[in-house]
Amino acid sequence: MHGLINRAIQSFVCATYGRQCWLRATQAAALGFDEFEAMLIYDADLSTRVLEALCAELNRPRSEFLEDLGTYLVSHPNMEDLRRLMRFGGVTYVEFLHSLDDLSDRVRLAVSDLKLPDLELQEHSPAEYRLHCSAGLPGYSSVMTGVLRAMADDYGSLVILSNEGRQSEAAVISITLVESAFAEGRHFDLGARKS
């Protein structure tokens, strides 16, 4: 498992539940360390153990924890760079949805050894979509559900999301666009620079 993924989990837990929660989970998982390095590759078993320890510590199902992680990844001020990467997908939420087919390629441009499962969007009507998340990263569809929910808020769109289970080898997320301009979205400037 890529260290960036593990580091994102660590950042989410520390920002949301506190560093002590993270330290208790790393001890319970018997990692032998308490900090993931972003650019290293770790055995997938380490990630699984720390996720299990975190869900036990927080008394939360893994799918809910991972959905909250997805929300954090694009809505927390610590993660503004990732939000910007997602917003480059389009001016509207629908354009953003259609850009998801290329997300794994865009991520690889930024981090060449980070392989995310492929995504495929199917449009059933202007308001009904299905996002197919290929196998390869356990819990990825839950993380993507959180990302989709947070990005809808970011664009000011009202959506209904539900995990539809598996279809062939892919996990399927149902997306119903209730209203594309439900609220004012968060400010986004394509040419913004860090200060």
Average pLDDT over residues 74-86: 83
Q: What average pLDDT does range 54-60 have in this prediction? A: 97
Q: Is the pLDDT of residue 38 over 80?
A: yes
Q: Bridge-partner residues for 161, per DSSP?
A: 175
CATH 3.40.50.10680 fits 71-179, yes or no: no
Please give the pLDDT value at position 191: 56
Residue 42: exposure state from Cβ atoms within 10 A (0-12, 13-18, ≥19): middle
Q: Is the pLDDT of residue 111 over 90?
A: no
Question: What's the confidence (pLDDT) of residue 138?
Answer: 86
> Distance between CA 183 and CA 88 in Å, rounded?
20
> What's the whole-number mean pLDDT along residues 172-192?
70
Q: What is the mean pLDDT of residues 116-133?
A: 94
Of the candidates 186, 40, 73, 95, the one whose C-alpha atom is nearest the C-alpha of residue 139 is: 73
For 165, phi then psi, to 5°, come to 90, -155
pLDDT of 185: 55
Asked which of 40-54, 164-178, 181-195 is least confident by mean pLDDT, the reply is 181-195
Does the pLDDT of residue 87 top 90, yes or no? no
Lookup: tokens for 131: 């996002």
Rounded distance, CA 151 to CA 98, Å? 13
Question: Which residue did the predictor score with more confidence, 88 or 125?
Answer: 125
